[in-house]
Structure 1
Amino acid sequence: MRVGIFGAGIAGLAVAWFLRDDADVCVHEASVGVGGLARSFKWHGFDCDLAPHRFLTHDEELLRQVLALVPMRRLERRSGIRLRGHWIRDPVNIFEVLYRFAPLESARIVWHYVVRRRQREDSFEALVLNNYGKGLHDLFFKPYSEKLFGIPANEISPSWGRRKIRVSGLRDLVRRDPRLYFEHFYYPVENGYGAIAERLYADVRTRVHLHSRLVGLAPLSSGGYECRFETPTGVVSDRFDVVVSTLPMPELGALLGFHIPLRFRPMTLLYLLVGVDSVSDRHWTYFADRDVIVNRVAEFRHFNANPPRGKTVICCEVTDAQQFSVERVIDELTGADFLPAGVPILDTKIIRLERAYPIYDRSYDEQIDLARQAFAAHPGIFHIGRQAQFVHKDVDEILEEAKALASVMRPGSGRWPHVAP
C-alpha cells in the first residue's frame, strides 16, 4: 500500500513514523524544514519554540514510546494570569478571584451567577453566561477570547467554549483543586519541543521530500489519487492508494474543487533577550485584559535544562497584528509589573505565523458540517492536525490521533473509516 502524506509537521511525521514498517510511505513538505508549528530553534544559547508546547498524554503506551525516543524532564506546571492589575493562578481558582478583587466586584460575580437566566447557546457569550454569569464573562472570558480571535464574544462559536473551557460552571470551579489540574507536563531535555519532530524525522528521513508543494490532486477511476508536486526542478507526479493531509482544510478543498470559507488568525511572536537571570518564576503568563495586546508570554529559561546565566528569553504572543509594535509590547509588560523597569533588552526577534489559530466564528459548525459532506466523497483522504481538521489541538492530541489513524490504515486491520476534518 502506498501512502502519500502532505506536510512534515508533527502530524505528518507522526503518521509516517507509526506506518514506517507497514506501508510504502512518502511525505511531501512545501518548506525546507520539518516540524511545522512544533519546531524549535536556538537563539543566544536558549532552545526556543514557536511559543512553548507541553506534552502530557493519558495514553501510557504512547507516553512510553515518546519518552523512549526523546529524553524528557517532568516539570511542575507554573502559570499565572494578569487580570485588571492583579496576579491570579492558572487554572482559575474562584476563591482566589473573589479574594483578589474588591468586595463589590466579587459580589457582582456571585450575584450574576445566582440570577443568571438560561438562554439558547448559539454563541460563546451565551455559553459562558449560562455557566458562569455575566460577572465572570465580562471580567475574564469575554476580553481574552475577543483578543484571541479578533471578533466579539457573541460572534464566537460555542464550540470554542465547549472545547477549551474545562469546567461546566462556577460549581466546578469551587469543587476543583487547581493543584491537581494539569499539575505537570513533559518537555525535552535538549533542543526544545522541536526535538520530538526531529526524532520522528530521523527515522523516516529517506521518505520525506522537502521543498515539494502539492499543486494538484485528482482521484483515479481505478482508486487512489494522482498528485502533482511543485519542486525546485519542476513539477513531478506520483500516485498513492490513500493520502493523509495535514494541509489547511480550505487549501485542500480548493485542490478538490470546493470552497471552504474558514479563516485562520495569524499571530506575531516577539522574542526578547532580557539582561537578567529571570523575569518571573512561571512557564506561561496570560494577559486577559482586552486593552493589553499581549496574549501570553513564555519564559524559556524554565523549560531549558541548562540555560545560560545572566540573561533570559521570553516569547510574547500577539494576535492583534494592527496594534503590534516592539515598543508597545515592552511598555505593556513593564506596566504590568512583568518586566522590571529599565531592564536591558539585549536583542529582539520577530516571527509571524500566518495560520496560528482556527477562527471559531458562529458559522464554524455549519461550515465544518459542509466540509465533512464534501470530503465524504473522498474516503481515501484522511485528515489530521490542527489546520487540516480546523480545530485547536495540542501536540499530544495529534500524536494520539496519528497512532490511532495508523492502526486503522495498516494492512489487515479491516477498517477504512473516513477520518473527517
Structure 2
Amino acid sequence: MADGNSAHSPTDEPADPELRAVPTPTQELADPELRDKPTLIIGAGPAGLTAAYLLTKQGLPVIVFEAEDQVGGIAKTEVRDGPGGKYRFDLGGHRFFTKVQEVDDLWHEIMREEFLKRPRMSRIYWRKRFLDYPLRGADVIKKLGPVELTRCMASYAWVKIRPKGREDTFEQWVINRFGKRLFDNFFRSYTEKVWGVPVSEIRADWAAQRIKGLSFFSAAKAAFFGNKGDEIKTLIGEFHYPRYGPGQMWETMTDDIQRLGGKVLMNTPVTKLEIEGSRCVRVHTPDEVYEAANVISSLPLRNTVGMAEPRPKPEVIAAAKGLRYRDFLTVSLVLDGEDLFPDNWIYIHEPDVEVGRIQNFRSWSPWMVPDDSKACVGLEY
C-alpha cells in the first residue's frame, strides 16, 4: 500500500508543478567571478541536476545540457500508454536510501509529500526455490537443507583457520569472508550476469564498496535477529520512493532549477569541450558555443575525453578507450491478472537463465500501474 497520508489515487497524474512551493535563493554572496559566466553542466541525470540545483539555490547562473528529450539519465521513469491509463517503468529499480543526512534532506526537500516510504521485499531464486532476502535464519536452514548448510559452514570454517590468501579480485575478497561454497552459491552467477565479466576480473575494492558492512557474522545476525537500525545497507527493510517512479525526483528538480533562474536545454548534445591550460573554458553544441565559468561533466569519462580539444595525450585517450561500460536491457510486460509476486524484485541466481532480476512495478509504488486488473513486471538482461 502507498503512504497512508496520501489523498491521491493510483490513477492520478502528478500534481501541477505550478502549485508547488519552490525554494528561494539564499542570501549568501557567491564568488563574483561565478556570476559573470554560467557554470555549464553536461548531462541532466541525478549528478548533473543535483549540482545545478545546489548552484541555483546560491543564485548562480547555470546551464544544463541534455542530449535526450527527458531528464533523469538511467534513473528516469519511462511512461507508456496502456490499458487503463499510463504505465510507468523504473529502468533500474532505484530505491532511495542513504545514511548521509545531507543527501536524505535534499531528497525530501525536492519530493515533499510525494516521497513514499515503501516496504522492501525481495527474494533470491536459487536451485528452483525462493530464499527470502534479506536472509531469515529459519528460511535459510529450510531451503538449503542440512547437507548444503553443513558444506557451507565447513567451507566458511576452512577460510577462517587457514592463512588469508591474496585479495586482488572480487572472487578472492568474497571467498576470504564467506567461504568458497557460499560464494559459488550466492555471489558468482548473479555478479557475472550483472557485469558480464568473470568475477576473477572484478577488483576487490569494488567488492569492499558494494558489500560494505556485510560479513558472514553480520549476515547471520541479521538473519536471526533482524537488521536493527538498518546497520547494513545491503539488508535494509524499507526505503523511500517517488510516487511516480525515480524520474519524478529529477523532473521536479528540473522545475525548481528553472524557477530559480537556471536553464535546462533538452535535445542539446555537447559536441566539443575547449580546453585552455588545465581548464575547460567553452562548450560547443550543434547550434552555439557557450563561455563557461566552470564546467561539470556527468558523462562517462570515455565520452568526455573524446570531446576534448586540443586532443589529450595518446596515453590519456588510450586509457579512456580502455574503460568498459555495461549496457543492460529491461523488457517490461503488462499482463492480465493479479501481480505475479509481491516482491519489489527477485534476483535470479540460476546460471542457465539469462534474466538477472525481475521487478514488480506495483510493489515499488501502486501509482506505477493504473489498472488493478493488470500486472506489470520488468525483466532485466
Question: Structure 1-normalised TM-score?
Answer: 0.70
Equivalent residue number for residue 200 of structure 1:
253
Q: How does 1:163-174 map to 2 (within 5 A)?
A: 163-174=209-220
State yes or no: 1:49 paired with 2:90: yes
What secondary structure does 1:48 align onto? strand
What secondary structure does 1:82 align onto? strand
Are the structure 2 counterparts of residues 151 and 238 from structure 1 closer, same or farther at C-alpha, using a change threshold of 3 Å? same
Contact kept? 2:273, 2:280, Cα under 8 Å: no
User: How well do the aligned residues superpose, as a CA RMSD in angstroms?
Assistant: 2.0
Greater Cα radius of gyration, structure 1 or 2: 2
Q: How does 1:358-377 map to 2 (within 5 A)?
A: none
CA displacement 1:356-387 (0-9 Å, x = unmatched): xxxxxxxxxxxxxxxxxxxxxxxxxxxxxxxx
Equivalent residue number for residue 266 of structure 2:
210
What secondary structure does 2:270 align onto? strand
Are the structure 2 counterparts of residues 264 and 224 from structure 1 closer, same or farther at C-alpha, using a change threshold of 3 Å? closer
1:278 aligned partner, one-letter code: D
Are the structure 2 counterparts of residues 21 and 104 from structure 1 closer, same or farther at C-alpha, using a change threshold of 3 Å? closer
Which of these residues, 316, 319, 332, is aligned with residue 379 of structure 2?
A: 316
2:96 aligned partner, one-letter code: F
1:131 aligned partner, one-letter code: R
CA displacement 1:62-87 (0-9 Å, x = unmatched): 43443343212111111111111121
Contact kept? 1:93, 1:173, Cα under 8 Å: no
Contact kept? 2:71, 2:247, Cα under 8 Å: no
Deviation at 1:47, TM superposition (A): 2.4
Are the structure 2 counterparts of residues 93 and 128 from structure 1 closer, same or farther at C-alpha, using a change threshold of 3 Å? farther
Which of these residues, 44, 47, 50, is aligned with residue 14 of structure 1?
A: 50
State yes or no: 1:30 paired with 2:67: yes
Are the structure 2 counterparts of residues 237 and 203 from structure 1 closer, same or farther at C-alpha, using a change threshold of 3 Å? same
Contact kept? 2:43, 2:299, Cα under 8 Å: yes
Are the structure 2 counterparts of residues 202 and 168 from structure 1 closer, same or farther at C-alpha, using a change threshold of 3 Å? closer
Equivalent residue number for residue 255 of structure 1:
307
What secondary structure does 2:267 align onto? coil
Are the structure 2 counterparts of residues 85 and 223 from structure 1 closer, same or farther at C-alpha, using a change threshold of 3 Å? closer
Equivalent residue number for residue 29 of structure 2:
none
Equivalent residue number for residue 333 of structure 1:
none
CA displacement 1:20-65 (0-9 Å, x = unmatched): 0332111111112211111113332332221331112334454344
2: CA distance between counterparts of 1:212 and 1:254? Answer: 17
Q: How does 1:1-150 map to 2 (within 5 A)?
A: 1=34, 2-22=38-58, 23-43=60-80, 44=82, 45=85, 46-70=87-111, 71-93=114-136, 96-116=139-159, 117=162, 118-150=164-196
Q: Among the aligned pairs, what percent are the same residue?
A: 28
What secondary structure does 2:207 align onto? helix
1: CA distance between counterparts of 2:191 and 2:279? Answer: 44
Deviation at 1:297, TM superposition (A): 1.0
What secondary structure does 2:356 align onto? strand
Which of these residues, 365, 370, 373, is aligned with residue 304 of structure 1?
A: 365
What secondary structure does 1:214 align onto? coil
Which of these residues, 202, 207, 210, is aligned with residue 156 of structure 1?
A: 202
1: CA distance between counterparts of 2:278 and 2:247? Answer: 39
CA displacement 1:111-135 (0-9 Å, x = unmatched): 1111124211011111111111111
Deviation at 1:91, TM superposition (A): 2.0
Are the structure 2 counterparts of residues 224 and 122 from structure 1 closer, same or farther at C-alpha, using a change threshold of 3 Å? closer
Q: What is the aligned length?
A: 313
CA displacement 1:133-157 (0-9 Å, x = unmatched): 1110111111111111222221221
What secondary structure does 1:115 align onto? helix
Q: How does 1:376-387 map to 2 (within 5 A)?
A: none
Are the structure 2 counterparts of residues 16 and 33 from structure 1 closer, same or farther at C-alpha, using a change threshold of 3 Å? same
Deviation at 1:283, TM superposition (A): 0.8
Which of these residues, 205, 220, 242, is aligned with residue 188 of structure 1?
A: 242
Question: Structure 2-normalised TM-score?
Answer: 0.77
Deviation at 1:97, TM superposition (A): 2.7
Deviation at 1:304, TM superposition (A): 2.6
Which of these residues, 234, 240, 247, is aligned with residue 292 of structure 2?
A: 240
Are the structure 2 counterparts of residues 288 and 119 from structure 1 closer, same or farther at C-alpha, using a change threshold of 3 Å? same
Are the structure 2 counterparts of residues 239 and 139 from structure 1 closer, same or farther at C-alpha, using a change threshold of 3 Å? same
Contact kept? 1:92, 1:178, Cα under 8 Å: no
1: CA distance between counterparts of 2:176 and 2:50? Answer: 39
Deviation at 1:218, TM superposition (A): 2.1
CA displacement 1:187-237 (0-9 Å, x = unmatched): 122x3221101001112235111222222112235965122112xxx3x21
Deviates more, 1:259-268 or 1:302-311: 302-311
Deviation at 1:92, TM superposition (A): 3.1
Contact kept? 1:220, 1:226, Cα under 8 Å: no
Deviates more, 1:10-19 or 1:299-308: 299-308
Equivalent residue number for residue 358 of structure 1:
none
Contact kept? 1:95, 1:174, Cα under 8 Å: no
1:229 aligned partner, one-letter code: T
Equivalent residue number for residue 379 of structure 1:
none
2: CA distance between counterparts of 1:209 and 1:113? Answer: 54
What secondary structure does 1:290 align onto? coil
Deviation at 1:311, TM superposition (A): 0.5
Contact kept? 2:41, 2:65, Cα under 8 Å: yes
